[in-house]
Amino acid sequence: MPPATLLTDIAVTIDTDALLPRLHLKPQSPEAREFRALAIEAQRVARPKAAFLIGYINARDNESVVIAGTRFASRVLSVNLSAVHRVFAYVATCGTELNEWAASLTDVLQQFWAEELKVTALRTATTQVFAAISHENPGQMASMNPGSLADWPLTEQRPFFHLLGDLPQQLGVTLSDSCIMTPNKSVTGFRFGNDSGYVNCRLCPREDCPGRAAPYEPELYAQRYESAD
């Protein structure tokens, strides 16, 4: 396997004014002033990180795919990877520094705001790792994340962490027995060449999801995945 790429020096710029509406804070309110002060502190503390490695596809059948010797059980993943020979396995995190800072807060409202600041740090890390992957693989790409679909449940984090080896540890990311990551604002996934506009959300029926990136398409699974071989 080619050597992994680590991104451990990622700068974060928090656009507090953009976050105020999400938090239902009026710009001139005392709460907004308190949030801005918290965001400045978060920006000082935050050390988001990310890493990726390239895995070559060894084998594929209707229900699973073997990547760099590790088997992943997902029909959607198997179909989505039918036209590529390699994937980019990535992990991104808001970082232990910001996670520990947030855990030290005692005010409930500040704890809630801190979660949003952690999301901003995670998004920054994810953007950076996607840019680094695009440098290796120009062109249209898509992502799939363990736990994002019933077809590829959270328990698939176990083989995913096996594939990543010591990369999560180097970034301070751990996986519990119940497959929950710490810091909680961390993400893993495969990134791969794809020109069909694949987005997990198109197969996900969850209602009222604040992270939805595309409308749910109830017929898509039957059309594209059920009959694929």
Minimum CB distance to ligand SF4 smaller for 101 or for 190: 190
Instruction: Give the nearest distance from C-beta 68 to ligand SF4 in angstroms.
Output: 25
Minimum CB distance to ligand SF4 smaller for 30 or for 197: 197
Minimum CB distance to ligand SF4 smaller for 2 or for 205: 205
Instruction: Give the nearest distance from C-beta 202 to ligand SF4 in angstroms.
Output: 8
Minimum CB distance to ligand SF4 smaller for 47 or for 191: 191
CA distance linking residue 126 with residue 77, whole number of Å: 20
Instruction: Give the nearest distance from C-beta 209 to ligand SF4 in angstroms.
Output: 3
Instruction: Give the nearest distance from C-beta 34 to ligand SF4 in angstroms.
Output: 29
**Strands 5-7 vs 186-193: parallel, antiparallel or unpaired:** unpaired
User: In this structure, are residues 126 and 49 in contact, taking their beta carbons and an 8 Å threshold?
Assistant: no
In single-letter form, the type of residue at position 27 comes to: P
Cβ within 8 Å of residue 88, ≥6 positions away? 52, 53, 54, 55, 133, 136, 137, 190, 191, 192
Instruction: Give the nearest distance from C-beta 206 to ligand SF4 in angstroms.
Output: 4
Query: What DSSP state is assigned to residue 175?
Result: E
CA distance linking residue 206 with residue 220, whole number of Å: 15
Minimum CB distance to ligand SF4 smaller for 158 or for 212: 212
| Site residues (vs ligand SF4, CB under 6 A) | 148, 200-201, 204, 206, 209, 211-213
Q: Which of 119, 107, 109 is nearest to 42 (CA)?
A: 119
